[in-house]
Amino acid sequence: MNYSIRQMTTDDINDIIIGEEKIFGESLGYDMLYSELTLNPYAYYFVLEIDSKINGYIGTWIDPDHAEIVNFYIDEKYQGLGFGSMMLEFFIELCDSCNVPNISLEVREHNLKAQSLYKKYGFEFSHKREKYYKDSEDALVLIKKMR
């Protein structure tokens, strides 16, 4: 199995939309992803390629004061094999090299798998955003202090 993490390009958008819809039941959508990649100077998006196919991605924002994980998935076929940890570590190292003071994210209250991953990397519960998702599930805001 050959795998690598590389910067996402606009040519990857359609694959990511298919992946997001499969995993989350919805996607950020072509226009949003396109403008993130071409217009947002704070957007850092990376894809996971396994045997030349896209099987995951992490979409993030990094500015000098703060970093945020916008979206993140690993294709079901490859979950539980360490790829999520690899991508998260990659992103944390990038934030470290940019001297970012903290990283935040939102995670569904019932998504214990993702919460367990984030906890492993030092993210801590900050507060709850009630009925944050379209189906009214609450979001937990988690923060990792970097320095």
Catalytic residue positions, numbered = 106, 118
Q: How many other CB atoms sit within 10 Å of the CB of residue 107?
A: 20
Please pick, from the candidates 17, 23, 32, 70, the single residue that binds ligand COA as defined by CB under 6 A. 23
If one asks whether residue 116 binds ligand COA (CB under 6 A), the answer comes out as yes
Task: Give the list of residues 6+ apart from residue 48 with CB closer than 8 angstroms, or none.
Answer: 3, 4, 5, 54, 55, 56, 57, 74, 78, 83, 86, 87
Q: How far is the CB of 80 from ligand COA (least distance, A)?
A: 5
Site residues (CB under 6 A) for ligand COA, limited to 84-113: 84-85, 105, 107, 111-113
Do the Cβ atoms of 102 and 146 come closer than 8 Å? yes
The answer to whether residues 43 and 60 touch, using CB atoms and an 8 Å cutoff, is: yes
Instruction: Figure out which of the listed residues 7, 29, 40, 81 binds ligand COA, where binding follows CB under 6 A.
Output: 81
Q: What are phi and psi of 71, to 5 degrees?
A: -155, 150
Pick the piece of the chain touching ligand COA (CB under 6 A) from 12-20, 67-75, 92-100, 122-130.
Answer: 67-75
Residues interacting with ligand COA, by CB under 6 A? 23, 72-74, 79-85, 105, 107, 111-114, 116-117, 120
